[in-house]
């Protein structure tokens, strides 16, 4: 045992030494110089976001003249990770909204400080290179429509999910301030045409409900538009009420519109021509030509445009088809009828408003001319489009809980079963074999599901994080990021208030359960067991409290440093990293587990700072359902001798600060074949029954 304690101190010292290697925050300027091959990087520019926030950004002109923008996430979206502190990253993207580079400048995440190599963090951030700001980037999970999935880091899922949210939130905020993406458009869902919706209709029907819109320009409107320009008096005076242009426009790939206007065969031909994401616009006019007399092959139609948001969509000859006839009832005659295709490289949303822009030109010389434009609105009817409803983005913790709903349900179910066990303990302990099976199966559940599957091993670091949060800006969302850890902390508090710390340590701690199962297997194969004398044992209790006080003192100075020293707990090595780390940590965890071949729960009894922290409020426990008799301790020592963690004092009193609530003593309490007072009582009863039987026989 002395060798084990000495080894514990050596490992703790080794762990403490590793704290010296915590990396200092990186300076972003040298990184930017190397990234963009520039001798000097300009100072940050303060941009103003639409909501009034001031955003510090590096506005960089690259050697080829193109623009790039870089920023630190802490300046714009300081989102706390699981440690309660942010992960500050340097993010850059180009003028087209493509990510260029993402680099972690500073973090205090315990799992990333020790246990996961720097290369894994770099591999994660490298996945953003060449992705777009508009991409809906999601960490992990299966491929789903509308999302770009990137790989997470095993054992650090919560941390990288927080990093992803910080990167995207900050980047989009910068892009909106610069004008790369529109604030409103970035939150609009892409609609689709309902191809199955069709109804026969006449020209009057479609113009009446707005499916076909009209732009009517009189000569007076045109003259007024050129007032004050060089073209004001460039044409002969005419009647201002004369019609200058009559233009009808519509969206032809809407079945009710296109099939009625073009006829069945022409409409089917059109739909075969359209590629995914393409749309067809029909324009029919009299008067001023919407095509223009100066149009040449390979050129652009310079009299019409489609406007939507910040996009202006123009058409080339390859986008144009002349319509020879319209087949709808009541259609007027037109001098020009055209079909234009909005190609898939334009981001056109058929469910959002768009405008038809009609440009009118007047010559002011042999070559020079002046344009003015007239705009008419178009909005496709709701019955023709399917527009997804975009809900406000869920908070990150709610998204995580939703994704891990099965895990949450199974964990809560397991806790409910434990609650039933505790409530009906007085009944269950009367059936030793049943109770024994229940306990061992529950320990297997704790190790396999809570420990290895959920990585739900609490740590003393969580205690320090919670205390620091109480003293600073407390935020429940920080603790809700990991459902398993949050639920287990709630369970530890609940069971601790009702029954004391022993319920968590004896039933819900994965490392404690693993130790107990190893010891149980060792006893089955008859490996000799050793126990220290009680006098030495009770003095060794103090070690875990000393470790707790040291770690607490360090945490007041630096939580990151305390996380390093807290590696005296082998929990991260065992359940979070599954022994995949440096050999020293694996050796330490292996020694602690192997010691259970010879004596039960060495780490829990003497070294665990978490157990020490949980034992502090033991006196607040509301229930004391562990029954004792006046004979316990004097003269009976049965329970004390059988208690495998030596939590029963020589006086017979149960030390609730050390008890793991295994209920073995309660099994003995109700067993009239093991409990000496019950054995004596049973013998006296049998003796009285024998005497009564003899008296009855004599009387007969």
Q: Are 576 and 461 spatial neighbours (Cβ–Cβ below 8 Å)?
A: no
**Of 124, 156, 187, which one is at a domain's C-terminal end?**
187
Q: Is residue 690 part of a domain?
A: no
Residues 382 and 453 in one domain: no
Residues 313 and 379 in one domain: yes
Residues 574 and 425 in one domain: yes
d(CA 360, CA 343): 25
* Residue 278: HSE in the Cβ half-sphere, 13 Å Cα cutoff: 16
Instruction: At 65, give phi and psi (nearest 5°).
Output: 90, -10
Residues 417 and 565 in one domain: yes
d(CA 343, CA 316): 10
Q: Is residue 130 part of a domain?
A: yes
pLDDT at 11: 43
Residue closest to 660 by CA, chosen among 506, 515, 499, 511: 506
Residues 568 and 609 in one domain: yes
- The model's pLDDT over 510-558, given as tens digits with 9 standing for 90+, comes to 999 999 999 999 999 999 988 888 888 888 888 999 999 999 998 888 7
pLDDT at 14: 43
Residues 273 and 293 in one domain: yes
Q: Which residues contact 431 (CB under 8 A, 6 or more apart)?
A: none
Residues 122 and 219 in one domain: no
Residue closest to 581 by CA, chosen among 160, 652, 590: 590
Q: Are 571 and 589 spatial neighbours (Cβ–Cβ below 8 Å)?
A: no
pLDDT at 314: 80
Q: Is residue 642 part of a domain?
A: no
Residues 201 and 176 in one domain: no
Residues 490 and 537 in one domain: yes
pLDDT at 21: 39
Beta sheet of 320-322, edge-to-edge order:
212-218, 243-251, 279-287, 336-342, 320-322
Which residue reads 């399917």 in tokens?
386
Q: Which of 136-145, 282-291, 637-646 has the highest mean pLDDT?
A: 282-291
pTM as predicted: 0.61
Confidence of residue 422 (pLDDT cuts 50, 70, 90): very high
Residues 134 and 205 in one domain: no
pLDDT at 5: 42
DSSP codes joined into one string, 53-71: -EEEEEEEE-TTS-EEEEE
Find residue 246's DSSP bridge partners. Answer: 216, 286
Instruction: At 473, give phi and psi (nearest 5°).
Output: -90, 95
Domain count, the chain: 3
Q: Are 655 and 615 spatial neighbours (Cβ–Cβ below 8 Å)?
A: no
Confidence of residue 111 (pLDDT cuts 50, 70, 90): low
Q: Which two tokens stand for residue 629?
A: 């008799």
**Cβ-count burial 611-647 (b if 16+ within 10 Å, e if not):** bbbbbeebeebeeeebebeeebbeebebbbeebbbbb
Residues 658 and 510 in one domain: yes
Q: Is residue 276 part of a domain?
A: yes
Find residue 149's DSSP bridge partners. Answer: 138
Q: Which two tokens stand for residue 520?
A: 């149980």
For the cut 90, the answer to whether the pLDDT of residue 295 exceeds it is no
Residue closest to 349 by CA, chosen among 267, 272, 262, 251: 251
Distance from the Cα of residue 58 to its chain's centroid: 28
**Of 135, 161, 187, which one is at a domain's C-terminal end?**
187
Q: Is residue 636 part of a domain?
A: no
Q: Is residue 12 part of a domain?
A: yes
d(CA 691, CA 683): 12
pLDDT at 620: 73
Task: Tell me what percent of the residues of the chain surpass a pLDDT of 90.
Answer: 32
Q: Which residues contact 665 (CB under 8 A, 6 or more apart)?
A: 626, 639, 642, 643, 648, 654
d(CA 522, CA 526): 6
d(CA 343, CA 633): 89
Average pLDDT, the chain: 83
Residues 326 and 180 in one domain: no
Q: Is residue 605 part of a domain?
A: yes
**DSSP character for 450?**
I
**Of 152, 187, 222, which one is at a domain's C-terminal end?**
187
d(CA 400, CA 405): 8
Mean pLDDT for 137-160 is 68
Could you tell me the residue range of the domain that residue 224 belongs to? 192-386
Q: Is residue 104 part of a domain?
A: yes
- The model's pLDDT over 319-373, given as tens digits with 9 standing for 90+, comes to 899 998 999 999 999 999 999 999 887 778 888 889 998 888 777 766 666 777 8
d(CA 358, CA 363): 17
Which residue reads 């065992």 in tokens?
574
pLDDT at 10: 41
d(CA 128, CA 147): 13
């Amino acid at each position: 045992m002395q060798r084990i304690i000495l080894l514990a101190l050596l490992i703790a010292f080794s762990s403490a030494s590793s704290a010296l290697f915590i990396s200092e925050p990186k300076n972003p300027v040298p990184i930017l110089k190397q990234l963009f091959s520039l001798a000097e990087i300009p100072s940050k520019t303060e941009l103003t976001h639409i909501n009034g926030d001031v955003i510090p950004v590096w506005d960089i002109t690259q050697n080829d003249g193109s623009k790039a923008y870089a920023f630190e996430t802490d300046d714009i979206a300081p989102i706390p990770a699981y440690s309660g502190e942010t992960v500050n990253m340097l993010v850059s993207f180009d003028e087209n909204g493509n990510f260029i580079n993402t680099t972690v400048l500073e973090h205090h995440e315990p799992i990333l400080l020790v246990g996961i190599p720097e290369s894994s963090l770099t591999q994660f951030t490298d996945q953003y290179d060449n992705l777009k700001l508009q991409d809906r980037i999601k960490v992990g999970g299966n491929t789903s429509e509308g999302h770009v999935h990137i790989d997470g880091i095993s054992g650090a899922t919560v941390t990288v999910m927080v990093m992803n949210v910080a990167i995207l939130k900050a980047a989009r905020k910068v892009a909106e301030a610069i004008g790369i993406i529109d604030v409103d458009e970035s939150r609009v869902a892409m609609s689709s045409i309902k191809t199955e919706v069709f109804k026969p209709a006449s020209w009057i029907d479609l113009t009446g409900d707005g499916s076909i819109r009209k732009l009517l320009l009189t000569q007076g409107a045109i003259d007024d538009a050129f007032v004050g320009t060089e073209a004001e008096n460039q044409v002969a005076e005419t009647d201002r009420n004369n019609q200058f242009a009559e233009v009808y426009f519509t969206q032809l790939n809407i079945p009710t519109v296109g099939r009625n206007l073009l006829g069945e065969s022409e409409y089917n031909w059109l739909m075969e021509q359209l590629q995914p994401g393409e749309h067809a616009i029909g324009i029919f006019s009299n008067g001023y030509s919407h095509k223009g007399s100066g149009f040449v092959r390979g050129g652009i139609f310079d009299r019409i445009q489609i406007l939507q948001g910040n996009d202006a969509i123009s058409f080339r000859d390859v986008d144009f088809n002349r319509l020879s006839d319209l087949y709808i009832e009541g259609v007027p005659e037109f001098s020009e009828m055209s079909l234009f295709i909005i190609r898939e490289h334009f981001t056109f949303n058929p469910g959002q408003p768009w405008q038809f822009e009609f440009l009118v030109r007047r010559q002011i010389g042999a070559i020079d001319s002046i344009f003015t434009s007239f705009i008419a609105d178009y909005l496709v009817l709701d019955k023709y489009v399917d527009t997804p409803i975009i809900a406000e983005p869920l908070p990150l913790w709610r998204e995580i809980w939703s994704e891990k709903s099965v895990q949450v349900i199974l964990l809560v179910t397991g806790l409910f079963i434990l609650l039933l066990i505790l409530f009906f303990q007085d009944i269950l302990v009367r059936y030793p074999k049943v109770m024994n099976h229940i306990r061992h199966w529950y320990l297997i559940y704790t190790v396999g599901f809570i420990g290895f599957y959920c990585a739900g091993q609490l740590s003393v670091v969580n205690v320090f994080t919670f205390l620091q949060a109480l003293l600073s800006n407390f935020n429940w969302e920080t603790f809700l990021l990991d459902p398993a850890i949050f639920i287990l902390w709630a369970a530890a508090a609940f069971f601790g208030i009702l029954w004391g710390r022993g319920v968590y340590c004896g039933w819900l701690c994965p490392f404690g359960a693993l130790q107990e199962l190893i010891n149980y297997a060792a006893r089955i194969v008859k490996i000799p067991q050793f126990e220290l004398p009680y006098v030495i044992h009770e003095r060794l209790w103090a070690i875990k409290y000393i470790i707790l006080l040291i770690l607490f003192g360090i945490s007041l100075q630096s939580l990151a440093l305390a996380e390093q020293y807290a590696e005296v707990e082998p929990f991260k090595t065992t359940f979070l990293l599954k022994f995949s780390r440096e050999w020293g940590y694996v050796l330490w965890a292996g020694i602690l587990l192997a010691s259970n071949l010879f004596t039960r729960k060495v780490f829990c009894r003497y070294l665990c700072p978490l157990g020490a922290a949980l034992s502090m409020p033991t006196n607040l426990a509301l229930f004391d359902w562990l029954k004792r008799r006046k004979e316990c301790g004097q003269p009976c020592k049965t329970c004390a001798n059988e208690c495998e963690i030596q939590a029963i004092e020589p006086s017979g009193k149960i030390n609730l600060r050390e008890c793991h609530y295994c209920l073995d003593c309660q099994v003995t309490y109700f067993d009239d074949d093991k409990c000496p007072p019950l054995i004596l009582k049973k013998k006296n009863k049998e003796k009285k029954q024998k005497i009564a039987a003899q008296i009855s026989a004599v009387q007969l």
